């Protein structure tokens, strides 16, 4: 397995929602590696999600949509709509399908609020 080295200025974030903090299967989790240029344009992004499909998923369409766009709250609102179309959660002991959809939306928004607080107004995202 070869894992390419991330770009020098890229940032990584992982978010997880579960009943217990440690040693628990997540209801939903998500990871993102993002590189934003000095002029606020997303140069590269990869977002993955677990708990919202039969196996953990790379959100290809969402990542492609964000690439080349200026990072704004409005663009993120569009991105989470695309992410919602890419997933197929089921209702199970960890939560309903609708609940998992809402969690993933929040986790994607959290990536950018945590990584780029100077560009994203978290209060407006909710």
Residue 61 has pLDDT above 90, yes or no: yes
Q: Which of the two residues, 2 and 96, has the higher pLDDT score?
A: 96
Q: Work out the pLDDT band at 1, boundaries 50, 70, 90.
A: confident
Inter-residue contact 82 to 65 (CB < 8 Å): yes
Q: Which of the two residues, 124 and 119, has the higher pLDDT score?
A: 119
pLDDT for res 51 = 92
Residue 70 has pLDDT above 80, yes or no: yes
Rounded Cα distance between 78 and 53, Å, is 21
Residue 123 has pLDDT above 70, yes or no: yes
| Token reading at 86 | 């890419």
Side-by-side strand order, sheet with 11-17: 11-17, 28-36, 42-50, 57-58
Mean pLDDT over residues 82-93, rounded?
95
- CA 113 to centroid of chain Cα atoms: 11
């Amino acid at each position: 397995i070869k894992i390419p080295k991330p770009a020098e200025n890229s940032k990584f974030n992982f978010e997880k929602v579960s009943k217990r903090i440690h040693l628990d299967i997540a209801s939903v989790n998500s990871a993102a590696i993002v590189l934003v240029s000095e002029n606020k344009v997303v140069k590269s992004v990869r977002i993955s999600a677990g708990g919202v499909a039969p196996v953990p998923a790379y959100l290809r369409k969402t990542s492609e949509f964000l690439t080349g766009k200026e990072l704004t709250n409005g663009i993120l609102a569009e991105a989470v709509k695309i992410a919602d179309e890419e997933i197929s959660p089921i209702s199970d002991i960890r939560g309903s399908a609708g609940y998992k959809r809402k969690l993933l939306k929040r986790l994607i928004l959290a990536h950018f609020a945590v990584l780029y607080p100077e560009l994203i107004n978290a209060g407006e995202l909710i």
